[in-house]
Structure 1
């Protein structure tokens, strides 16, 4: 299926992109295109205008900022995968980015595009949720920050206003251990279920494809904080989740996978 007709404009700066978005309430931002274009082809999204920010080079970087790593929204998955700084400071992001799709996807897709899309089946948003990342967004009224825990609102819905752009993602350092478990049919496929676990002085666990948004495994975290064993914590992994059935898995199978993958991830953490 072909997308509905739309206008196209390329922004040279963030300010110009915000101005374009403010002038058309049905406009959408285009970054790498791997999230938005498929929806447009299915006519699940029909923007009146695409505002292409893909060549704003100022939004592509990975750098240390105190006890955080700042990542520009247009940083490609491949750049995350190969970043020496991330490999030292937040290695879970290099691992997760390296498992997204295939090389063509990783060379085009961006962390900002994946995050702003807000798909509960995507890998990076779940990793950012587990890490307690902070999103930096800009709009006509200036800049503001949104914690990852408050950013994902519903199915393909985030806290971004229509005239705002996600410009940076700030990730805390200090998570010395991590585990990433992803169950899929083929290496390049979306996860049927995935689990990201990170540990510093606490253990955070999040789910991929166990609900309309990325989800923290709150029941698991609470059990671990109370001194439960890996097996005891994993037994309640699917509590508070809302998986759906599709051609790949039933609801019960996804719940089973959640418990199995959480146990594997926690065992890997040690």
Structure 2
């Protein structure tokens, strides 16, 4: 690693001020993305600002009709939370599928969203559930927040503080993961909401997480996997690498969407 200065703010305001005062500073919470890159000497931020000691930033609670999860809540905490399990069990299951136990006990939901890895799980949940990503400056919808591979609309002094998930009528997440990294080769989150149905896909898009509107329109007429018969996703615009071709990922999206709808309907 290169030399850096470590900061441990007590509040979000202090953290934001440190970002303003220290050029090229980086935020850290769980550190599962930034620290490996620093160890490989691929990044050398002069300042690290640790959010993990800010009290109240890791809370999980219901507020009105929304499940609110603090930015530094760890994946294991989301997976084990009775509140999450009761209100949006699909989200608890998603958190339990992230990485391995070491990753789940250190990685945070805010860090995952801020990094916006194209194979991460939480972006699919945010997009499918119509979450609101709250920062120290504003509130953002997923369509505004996610800007492409590893890119978000966060400003240089902006910090995610919490994520608000409206509770759906039904939801499920099905993931086909890379057996080595456990990232999503393809992950599909399906949510039946009060006014619509959303199908969000992670791991497959060359521009990051996206929705499959053709599947959504079909499922709005009847929330049953049989309505998807004959429908498919074009391979154009999908990732193709040594783990799977674009055509393979397109096929997986169709298969996993059907399984997710069945799971949301309580079918094995």
| Number of the residue aligned with 2:52 | 54
Give the Cα–Cα distance (whole angstroms) in 1 for the partners of residues 259 and 50 of structure 2: 41
Counterpart mapping for 1:89-128 below 5 A: 89-128=87-126
- Which deviates the most, 196-205 or 237-246? 237-246
Question: Does 145-154 or 244-253 show the bigger shift?
Answer: 244-253
Secondary structure (helix, strand or coil) at the match of 2:184 reads: coil
Which range moves more in the overlay, 106-115 or 18-27?
Answer: 18-27
Query: Could you tell me how far 1:103 is from its partner in structure 2?
Result: 1.1
Correspondence for 1:194 among 177, 187, 211:
187
Equivalent runs, 1:49-88 vs 2, <5 Å? 49-88=47-86
- Report the alpha carbon displacement of residue 237 of structure 1 after superposing the two structures with TM: 4.6
Q: CA deviation at 1:182?
A: 0.9
SS in 2 for 1:210: coil
SS in 2 for 1:122: coil
TM-score (structure 1 length as normaliser): 0.89
Equivalence for 2:25: 27
CA distance in 2, matches of 1:236, 1:37: 42
Contact 1:238 1:258 in 2 (8 A): yes
Question: Any stretches of 5+ residues in structure 2 without a counterpart?
Answer: none
In 2, the alpha carbon distance for the partners of 1:78 and 1:129 equals 21
How many residues of Structure 1 are paired with residues of Structure 2 in the alignment?
A: 263
Within 5 Å, which residues of 2 pair with 1:1-270? 3-42=1-40, 45-138=43-136, 143-173=137-167, 175-186=168-179, 189-201=182-194, 202-211=196-205, 212-226=207-221, 230-231=225-226, 233=228, 235-239=230-234, 242-270=237-265
Q: Matches of 1:61 and 1:179 in 2, distance apart? A: 23
Instruction: Tell me which moved more, 228-237 or 254-263.
Output: 228-237
| 1:192-221 superposed Cα distances (whole Å, 9 cap, x missing partner) | 111111213332111111223221222211
Unaligned 5+ runs, structure 1: none
Encode CA deviations 1:206-240: one digit per residue, 9 max, x unaligned: 11112232212222112323569735536545249
SS at match of 2:15: helix
**Residues 52-71 of structure 1: CA distance to partner in whole angstroms, max 9, x if unpaired?**
11111220101111111111
1:181 aligned counterpart, secondary structure: strand
